[in-house]
Structure formats: structure tokens, C-alpha cells
Amino acid sequence: MARKKIALIGGGQIGGVLAQLIALRQLGDVVLFDIVEDLPQGKTLDIVEASRVDGFDGKVTGTNDYKDIEGSDLVIITAGLPRKPGMSRDDLLVTNAKIMQTVAENVKKFAPNSIVIIISNPLDAMVTLFKKITGFPANKVMGQAGVLDSSRFSTFIAWELGVSVKDVNAMVLGGHGDTMVPIVRYANVNGIPAMELLEKKYNDKTKAAEVMKAMAEDKADFQFLYDADQPLLKKVEAIALKIYGADGVKVETAARKKIELYEQLGLSGLPVCVAKTQASLSDDSKKTGRPRGWNLTLTNASLSSGAGFVVVHCGDIMTMPGLPKAPAAEKIDVDETGKIIGMI
């Protein structure tokens, strides 16, 4: 029996995770598409290289060509801009509608018989738009939302009460957006009403109601450290000034050339990972505590396209994780008889 072909449109965080989960569960062969060159190829290469360790066997490929999704049995669409701080899902409507139009036209062209699952926001509008453009029957186009929203609600309750999420039963109804409605009355932990357990925890009905309202509304105060649309150096500056307490950022020639190249390739939207000594907030391991009056020096940069971020190197740093000052590999050798030594 031929394996199913599953196409993922959008190689961001959700697309990459889905590609890995599909491969691990051997649900079918995966094609991960994204418009950013080398991004989907890098992510799928990472997944495939782990197949021997994770014990799965399947074809996982990355592409920048819609033609490679041809003949897909299932298409999952995650493409679109993510929400920024303070934005609602509906704020993405105009921008993501343009993206969805291109996606829909290509899915109709190359995978006309596929079943389509849409994750892009605002979800309900994107599902309607996709169906209108493609003319696909209603039973072949669906949005993934209700299960996710209910799972989130259950997770918040589990965290608040300190119980296993497996024991929590909670449901959210309505559209995937600000109009969704958590069914608080029927939320329970192994049959015991969640509100009853909250009242017992706080010994205060008013406080319990406030906590439940906060979980139901899911309006956290989380904010990104920097705007995803900012240039790469601005992102580094945000980390250096706000997290490390630096006065500024000094960029050496090698690092500047790499960063300029990545931005020319359209990769400025990627997040930044800082590789530096773990012994100090600065890039100098001798400066302990909370150093003052220093600049973060960028010596180089590299692209981790599979993981989906740009790494900036600070000071003299090795980027291979978990190595001591004297890696054990330096002691491995082959003696005169051809025997490997230094492994133990």
C-alpha cells in the first residue's frame, strides 16, 4: 500500500513541529514548503538525520517550489504572519488574506483532490477564503481550532490546580478568536468542578472567580523582547541592552558581513540566538556579577536554517553545545595497531 503524501505549507515553528510529529508517527511522506530559501530544506534535513535514533522510516523533504506538493492527499496550511504584541487574530486579516490567496491557487493547481486543514489566522476567515478561491467541497476544507482552544483551557486549569492535564476535562466553543466561549460550568478535574477546587485552594469565591476568568480569557501579559520585523542588529541590541545590561553592541567586520548577507537573502525576520560565555552576562567570562560600562562584541554570525534562527557569536566561543574546556574527543586516537583509544 502506497504511503500517504502530506504537504505542509509554511515552514515556521508550527510547520516544522508538525513535520516532525508526522514523521515520528509515520503518518505519511512529508513535503514542507516555504518561500524562504533553504529554510524548509534545513528543517527537514534535521528531522531525517534523527530518523535512525527516533526509529521512524519515511520521506521528509523541504522545498520552495509548489510543484513538489503535487498529488498530496492532505495539505496543512500554517502560512501567514504571526500575531504581534497587542494584536488580535482579526488584525491579520488583510495581510494573511493575500498570502492565503496565493496558497489556495497553488493547492488547487497541484493538489486538487486533497483534504485541507488550515491553521493560519484569523482562522474562520481564512477557511472561508480558501474554500471560495478553490471551490473545494465543504467536507474537504476545515480549520483546526476547537481542540487546540479546549486543550489550552485544560492546560491552564491543570497548572493552576497542580494536577495532571490528563485528569482535566474542559471545553471551548465558538470561533477561533475573541468570540470563543470557555464552558466554565462544566470544567472539571475527574468529575470535581474546577470552580469548586479553585474556591477550596483560595478559600475565597471572589478570588477563585477572578482566576477562572483570567484562564478563560487567556489574556497574558507576555510581550516579545523585539519586533520580528526589526533588522537583525536591532534584535541583538534589544537582547544586549534589556537582558545583559550592556551599553551597546560592537560589530566586527566578519559579523557585519554575515548579517548583511542574511538580510539580503530575506532572513531578517528570523529570531536571534546569542552564543557567548555562560560564566558572565557579558561576553567576557572574567566579568562576574552585573557588569557595567561594557559593549557586547559580535565576532561572527551563522545561520541555523533548520532550527529557524540566526546565531551571533560573541567573543571567543565554541558553538557546539555541552563541551567542557577540554573536550573528550581530543583524547580519541588510533594507535599503531589500528586500535581506537581514548573512548573510555
Catalytic positions are: 176
Sign (positive or negative) of CA dihedral 13, 16, 19, 23: negative
**Alpha helices, H only, 203-331:** 205-217, 232-239, 253-264
* 274 backbone dihedrals φ, ψ, rounded to 5°: -100, 120
Give the integer Cα–Cα distance in Å for 242 and 44. Answer: 34
Give the integer Cα–Cα distance in Å for 239 and 318. Answer: 20
Calculate ∠ Cα 120-125-130, nearest 5°. 75
- Residue owning grid cell 573512548: 343
Sign (positive or negative) of CA dihedral 281, 287, 293, 298: negative
Q: Which residues pair with 142 in a beta bridge?
A: 117
